[in-house]
Amino acid sequence: MRNVARVVMTVLLMVVLGSGFRWLYLNRHQFMATESALPSAAEIAPVWATTLFDHGGKAYPLAQYKGKPVILNFWATWCEPCREEMPEISALASAHPEIVVLGLAIDEAAAVHEFTESTPVSYPLLIAENEGMPLAETLGNHKGVLPYTVVISAQGEVTQIFFGRVNRQMLQKALNL
C-alpha cells in the first residue's frame, strides 16, 4: 500500500511539474522578451530629480546628466550575471567618455564598497538600496529583473532597455556607435 501511494504521489508531482514547465514554455516570451514598451520622457521625469550616493558618500544628482546619452545599469553584488557584464560595460565607459555610465546598486553601501575593492570599474557605482527597484520600474522594469539596463538619449528619451545580462556589442548597437 505504501508503494502504491509513493507511485501515485510521484506521478502527481510529475504531472504538476510538467504542467508548470509547459505553461512557462508557452509563456516564455513574457519572461524572456527584451522588448517592452519604452517609458516616455514625461514618465521618466522623476528620475532626473533623484540624487544617489556612491559608497564613499559622494552625491550624484541625476539631473546633471540631462542632455547627455546615459546608460543606467541596475545591478547587485549578489547577482552573478550583473558581475559578469561589468568588465564589458566598464570597457565601453572607458572607450566612450562622452557617454554617462552609472551602475545603480540594489544593495547596501558596505557590500558595494567590498565589491569595488576586488572588482574596480571605470564608472560610478551608486547606492540605490530600497529606492532602486521602484526607480527601475519607473524606467520600464516591470519584471523586477536584475541586471536591468536602460539607454537614455541626449534628448531624454529611453531608446532601449535590456532585461538580463548585456555585452559591449549590444550597448554599442543601442547607442549607434
> Look-up: residue for cell 567618455?
97
pLDDT of residue 15: 59
- Give one word for 60, left, alpha or beta, with left for phi > 0 and alpha for psi -120 to 50: beta
Q: Kindly provide the residue ranges of all beta strands, DSSP E only, lying in the chain, ordered along the sequence.
A: 51-54, 59-61, 70-75, 100-105, 125-127, 148-152, 158-163
pLDDT, residue 130, reads 87
114-128 tens-digit pLDDT: 999 998 899 999 999
11-54: pLDDT as tens digits: 665 655 555 555 555 555 444 444 558 888 888 998 999 999 99
Percent of the chain with pLDDT over 70: 82
> What is the residue-averaged pLDDT of the chain?
87
Q: How many C-beta neighbours within 10 Å does residue 158 have?
A: 21
Residue 115 grid coordinates: 565589491
Interatomic CA distance for residues 52 and 78, integer angstroms: 20
Banded model confidence at residue 153, pLDDT cuts 50, 70, 90 = very high
| pLDDT score for 19 | 54
Position 4 scores a pLDDT of 75
Burial class of residue 151, CB neighbours in 10 A (0-12, 13-18, 19+)? buried
Q: For 33-47, 52-66, 78-92, which range has the lowest pLDDT when averaged over its residues?
A: 33-47
All three cell numbers of 83, joined, read 558581475
3-state secondary structure of 2: helix
Across 86-109, average pLDDT: 96
C-alpha angle 125/131/137, rounded to 5°? 100
In the prediction, which pLDDT does 41 show? 86
| Mean pLDDT, residues 71-75 | 97
